[in-house]
Amino acid sequence: MNNPTPAPPEPYAPEAAFEHTIARDQRIEPRDWMPDAYRATLVRQIAQHAHSEIIGMQPEGEWITRAPSLRRKAILFAKVQDEAGHGLYLYSAAETLGADRTELTERLIDGGQKYSSIFNYPTRTFADVGVIGWFVDGAAICNQVPLCRTSYGPYGRAMVRVCKEESFHQRQGYELLLTMMRGTDDQRAMVQEAVDRWWWPSLMMFGPPDDDSPNSARSMAWRIKRHSNDQLRQRFVDMTVPQTEKLGVTLPDPDLRWNEERGHHDFSAPDWDELKRVVSGDGPCNAERIARRRAAHEEGAWVRRAAAAHAAKRTARQREGAAA
Amino acid sequence: MTVTAGSAAALALGDDALVLSHRLGEWAGKAPVLEEEVALANIALDLLGQARVLLSMAGDEDELAYLREERAFRNLQLVEQPNGDFAHTIARQLYFSTYQRLLYAELAARDGEFAPLAAKAVKEVAYHQDHAEQWTLRLGDGTAESRQRMRRACEALWRYTGEMFQPVEGVDVNWSDLETSWLESVSAVLRRATLDVPEGPRSGAWTAGAGRQGLHTEPFGRMLAEMQHLHRSHPGASW
């Protein structure tokens, strides 16, 4: 019997398939072929996003034990718990790209990977907790809502869950500030002072200006990012200004005003040198944040070893049981 | 404030939950693995929810939490003990969550004023107890180091466990049956974890029933100072 000669395989062009998926605005999934640089960029971005959730637990966690009412304490607990959960989703998303959570954690504590610049600023009063909810979660939402449609499937799906929870926290932060503004003079002064300190660092959360953002163009071409840093920053300012008025506080920018022609607010640029310093490790709390993360990791090593040893013993016992 | 037997009982049980929740809050950002950040915060949040219901039965929750001095708190000395290492925290959780599960199961089965709270809380504390039990097994039957740490923690906290069964006025349960069940349950977990049941006394002459009478250990004062300072710094402010 003659074996028919198998037909030659279809010429498979993974690069074309990848480009085609991106161009049709569809999702890349873990088993799909992807350019090495796309994979590396995503691992970097998702890991840094995860690290930000984890380091971001610290400035607010500072106030759990001092929260001035039981209701606020419960809200803070729930928020810090959600942040740990967001970190978990995001590390899982990074692992679909072949990264390893343990290694990523080590990269974080040895300074090899970054986290959001904002968490290097200290929380000095309880009003900071509200302002972090309002500004920092607000900025995170501006960044993350478009990421729900990012080209990498697991990242986009993680963002859908994260965004739902973040918007809840943002409203709670704002509501804390509203309550404080209806309170004593001291409380109102506390809110204004916190707004003054967090405004510029919050604008910096969107990253450097577009003409100084080396990774942006490629990330946008790959539809990892959907909008530029400056576009998102503008969106944040436009969203925040009316909330400021409703709250009864001012923003520390004398040049901030509505521009009828553009249909947007004009505002001053933050101090980009400060952003560079903070990102390169020289911010007010960088050393403390990393030291705290490192200490938790190192002091927890014996617990992780115990869990692994116990799991191994159980598996061995089950095997013996099965063999007997 | 006149304290009825019912509100004294609500204070005792509420203070237990409030103080332990606070201690667990001190772990935020320091847990050995991320999953434990979630778990410890989750347990703390459940306890805080219980505390708020119970304190509200006795008065204004914030006034009671933030404006009482150390001598007026009615919590067990066990729950105010500092976190120590992870094994200490787990031993404290094992002892207390087993007690709470047994107590709330009893209260949920009766008609008293605590029945509605207990019916909800018993589901939460069953999870707390399972969490503590799983970690007791991992640490006790893990590495030589974890076993030693877990053994030390169980021994160090043992002398605070007798106080849990001092009858609380207004809580209608059979305390000595509760104690028997508690000992059986905890001993079984410790044995499965290859740990010995500590041999020392479960309460000393100095500590018996003390927390319930407002006599606390030294670390508690510092804990309260931190917990209350902001609230006390702004009298009359609402948050």
- pLDDT tens per residue, range A188-220: 999 999 999 999 999 999 999 999 988 888 899
Structure tokens at A245: 């008025």
Nearest to B238 among A70, A84, A179 (CB): A179
**CB of A189 within 8 Å of any CB in chain B?**
no
- B-proximal residues of A, 68-87, CB under 8 Å: 68-74, 77-78, 80-81, 84-85, 87
Count the helix, strand and coil residues of chain B and give each as a percent rounded to the nearest 5. Answer: 70, 0, 30
Q: What is the pTM of this model?
A: 0.94
Quick check: B137 and A64 CB within 8 A? no
- DSSP run (H or E) holding A88: helix A70-95
> With contact defined as beta carbons under 8 Å apart, do A61 and A80 qualify?
yes
Q: Count CB neighbours of A114 within 10 A.
A: 17
Interface with chain B: mutation pick from A303, A313, A315, A317, highest number of B CBs within 10 Å: A303
Round to whole Å and give the CA distance between B146 and B152.
Answer: 10
> With contact defined as beta carbons under 8 Å apart, do B193 and B150 qualify?
yes
**CB of A54 within 8 Å of any CB in chain B?**
yes
Summarised one tens digit per residue, pLDDT across range A248-306 is 999 999 999 999 999 999 999 999 999 999 999 999 999 999 999 999 999 999 999 99
> With contact defined as beta carbons under 8 Å apart, do A153 and A29 qualify?
yes
Residues of chain A contacting B32 with CB distance shorter than 8 Å: 296, 299-301, 303-304
**Residue type at A17 in one-letter notation:** A
**CB of B63 within 8 Å of any CB in chain A?**
no
Low-confidence ranges of chain A (pLDDT < 50): none
Nearest to B239 among A68, A88, A295 (CB): A68
Quick check: B137 and A313 CB within 8 A? no
**CB of B138 within 8 Å of any CB in chain A?**
yes
Interface with chain A: mutation pick from B20, B24, B33, highest number of A CBs within 10 Å: B33
**CB of B142 within 8 Å of any CB in chain A?**
yes
Residues of chain A contacting B189 with CB distance shorter than 8 Å: none
Chain B: nearest CA to A10, how far in angstroms? 46
Q: Count CB neighbours of A306 within 10 A.
A: 27
Instruction: Give me chain A's average pLDDT, please.
Output: 94
Low-confidence ranges of chain B (pLDDT < 70): 1-3, 205-209
**CB of A61 within 8 Å of any CB in chain B?**
yes
Chain B: nearest CA to A317, how far in angstroms? 12
- A-proximal residues of B, 39-58, CB under 8 Å: 41-42, 44-45, 48-49, 51-52, 55
Structure tokens at A25: 């605005």
Chain A: nearest CA to B114, how far in angstroms? 20
Round to whole Å and give the CA distance between B233 and B237.
Answer: 9
Q: Give the A:B interface size as CB pairs under 8 Å.
A: 144
In sequence order, what DSSP letters do the residues of B45-95 get, joined into one string?
Answer: HHHHHHHHHHHHHHS-HHHHHHS--GGG----HHHHS---SHHHHHHHHHH
**CB of B137 within 8 Å of any CB in chain A?**
yes
